[in-house]
Amino acid sequence: MKKIILYVLVVFTVSCGQSKNENKTIKETTTYYLVRHAEKDTIPVDNPKLLASGEKRAQNLAAFFNNKTLDAVYSTDYTRTINTAYPTAKAQNLETIIYNPTTINYKTFLKETKGKTVFVVGHSNTIPGFVNSIINANAYEEIDESIYNRMYVVTITDSKIKHELKMLD
């Protein structure tokens, strides 16, 4: 009598934390919040401090970001912009990065901040242009000298850009 030997091959598939969606790329989102500095004094003309109302607005901006995690805070090198950015930077445990609006390389800025959430403080004549450079469109004009309550929010997910103008109190 002949013996028949039967070999059974069992293959186990082990999932190493991968899912059916492993071929899909994770979408990376970059968010920019841009504002003009808060209310300023008129003296000295070239580099004034914030008024009491401006200091209050700066505190309100910090409160706006309470439930958001920022990766960076940028400001021009003026007392009024630095003082507008400071409460937010302090609350987020960040150092304020100084930038020059006339020499900034927007392509480099976008590359360095990709995937991050960033707060930028500038001026009535620079922030709209900054936003326009980020969105690659001429959508926003200079801010009137009497207006301090605008916040531009730009969100970039992959190559899709959304932008809006918010009015803050």
Reply yes or no on whether the pLDDT at 111 is more than 80.
yes
Note if the pTM is more than 0.75. Answer: yes
Q: Model confidence over 67-81: pLDDT tens digits?
A: 999 999 999 999 999
Average pLDDT, the chain: 89
Q: Model confidence over 41-55: pLDDT tens digits?
A: 999 989 999 999 999
Closest CA to 79 of 21, 38, 132, 29: 38
CATH of domain 29-167: 3.40.50.1240
Task: Give the CA distances from residue 23 to residues 4, 20, 96, 157, in Å, rounded to whole numbers and listed in that order.
Answer: 45, 8, 38, 18
Could you give the percent of the chain with pLDDT greater than 90?
80
